[in-house]
Structure 1
């Protein structure tokens, strides 16, 4: 009798753990931000009319930014996200590619489905020899 009871407990525990994983997995996978290389980002811009969203501070954006990118500092995402199109892929850019992942996650939580992070940020863009726009 003790053996059956132990087997039942093991079976119940296995079913419970499997159910929790099955329920949580879609949320976990959806929460991950896909990163793009510079070349992949350029392809996305050209083929799917993507948009670069620069989440660095305004002074850094003015000093050097990707042409036709939009400035939306991380601190302003919650209040200014409505200015972004939901029907275009968004490629979030920061200085080195770290802050853009968190910013892309915020945008996803605000209803933007097609959001990516530029791997290596603006520094990777510059190192690849891609043009930067400088505003005075």
Structure 2
């Protein structure tokens, strides 16, 4: 045990960086678990779409949407979601499945939707990349 303390005392900066990184990982995981947003795989999203009357929300930019969309997605770019939330008001009681290219922007969109009062919010983990990797159908706009 004494050698560990010697290491920490003789290397305070690397140890502080390690503690900071571990704290950030812990905070990120804690936030994800307590956000009220489900993060589902592509196959789990397909199952949800088949059994639930879900709204699919594409939060990618216009250029990305031209490459293809999932089913009958409603396209609202993340940058405009705050101003266009009223377009989703009639779907408040439904499950909203959000996706983007990789799952990061849609995770932000899900947090926005939760703050706006949407109760059933799902993020497509891995986004459109995961959807395509699973060889699931994509429609052109």
Do they fold alike, i.e. is TM over 0.5? yes
Q: Secondary structure at the match of 1:67?
A: coil
The RMSD of aligned alpha carbons is: 1.7
Unpaired runs of at least 5, structure 1: 1-26
Q: What is the TM-score normalised by the length of structure 1?
A: 0.74
Q: What is the TM-score normalised by the length of structure 2?
A: 0.72
* Cross-structure match for 2:120: 114
Q: Secondary structure at the match of 1:63?
A: coil
Following TM superposition, where does structure 1 have runs of at least 4 consecutive aligned residues deviating by more than 4 angstroms? Answer: 27-30
In structure 2, what is the Cα distance between the partners aligned to 1:86 and 1:32?
Answer: 15
Do the aligned partners of 1:49 and 1:88 also contact (CA within 8 Å) in 2?
A: yes
* Cross-structure match for 1:82: 86
Unpaired runs of at least 5, structure 2: 1-30
Do the aligned partners of 2:36 and 2:114 also contact (CA within 8 Å) in 1?
A: no
Question: How far off its partner does 1:32 sit?
Answer: 4.3
Residue 53 of structure 2, aligned match among 32, 49, 61: 49
In structure 1, what is the Cα distance between the partners aligned to 2:83 and 2:69?
Answer: 22
